Amino acid sequence: MAGRLDGKRAIVIGAGSSGPGWGNGKAAAVLFAREGAKVLCVDVNEAAAAETAGIVAEEGGTARAFTADVTKSEQVAALVEDAVAAWGGVDVLQFNVGILGLGGPVEASEETWRTVLDVNLTSLFLTCKHVLPVMERQFEASGRGGAIVAISSIAGIRDIGVPYVAYNTTKGAVVPFVRSVALQYAKQGIRANAVLPGLMNTPMIREPLKEAYAGGDVEKMIAIRDAQCPTGKMGDAWDVAYASLFLASDEAKYVTATEIVVDGGITARIA
C-alpha cells in the first residue's frame, strides 16, 4: 500500500456497483483501502456492499459492509454509529449516490422529481447531518477533523445533450451545498469538496441510459458518448476514485470549498 490514507477511517456511500464492473463508489472504496484506510462500504444493495468489502478483504485491507437507504435519517445514523463503534471515528466521507430521471419539467413525473431529489440530494444532507458532529468532536478532542468528498456531475453545470432536469438540478445543487458546509466548518478542521465527473463508462450508464441513446443499442450508445469527449473516449470509475483520493488525503489539507472537474476536457468546449 502506498499509504496516502494510512490511519484514516472512511465511509463510502454508494460503495456498490449497479452492474458488473467498476462503479465510482466501488472503485473509491477499494482504492481508499489500498491506500491504508479502513472503509465502511455502504450501499442500498446488500450484495453489492458485500462484494466491495470482499474485494478489500481479499487484497488484505480492512472493510465492513453496511446496507442502508441513505434517504432515511435513522438508517444514516445507524451506519455512522457502526463506523464509530468499529473504529472510533470518521475521517473521510465519500458520497457517491445518484440516480437518473429521464425528461424535462413536462415529461418527468412528479414522483420521478421527488425520488431523484431525495436520492441525489437529501441523502447528502442526511449523511453530512450525522457525520459532521463526529468530525467536530474529533477536532475538539484531538485536532483531527475530516474530509468530505461529494460526487456531483458536469451535468450540473452544462448541458450533456439529454433532458434530465431532475438529475441535472440535483447534481448542480451538490456544489453550493459542499461550499456551504466547507465554509461553515473550516475552523473545525473539516474540509468539503466536490468531484464533477464527465461522461464516464461505468455500469450505471448501461441500463438507465440505454433508452436515451441509439434506441437502446448499448454499444452504439458507448460509441456516441466516446465521440462527444475531446479525448475520444469516456473516462472510467478509477479517474473519479483518484480525484476523490487526493481530496480525501492530507495532500489536499488546504483544499476546501471547491470542485475538481474530471471530464477529459468536455466542459471546456464551446459547443
* Residue ranges of domains in the chain: 9-203+236-262
d(CA 250, CA 82): 24
Cα–Cα nearest to 157, from 261, 250, 17: 261
Length of the chain in residues, anyone? Answer: 271
pTM equals: 0.94
Nearest 5°: CA angle at 22, between 20 and 28?
145
Comparison of pLDDT for 17 and 148, the residue scoring more? 148
- Give the pLDDT confidence score for residue 17 in this predicted structure: 85
Give the pLDDT confidence of 141-186 residue by residue, as tens digits. Answer: 999 999 999 999 999 998 877 788 999 999 999 999 999 999 999 9
Query: Quick one: pLDDT at residue 1?
Result: 45
Catalytic sites, residue numbers: 167
Topology adopted by domain 9-203+236-262: Rossmann fold (3.40.50)
Q: How far is CA 216 from the centre of its chain?
A: 26
Q: Scan for cell 450508445, then name that residue.
A: 221
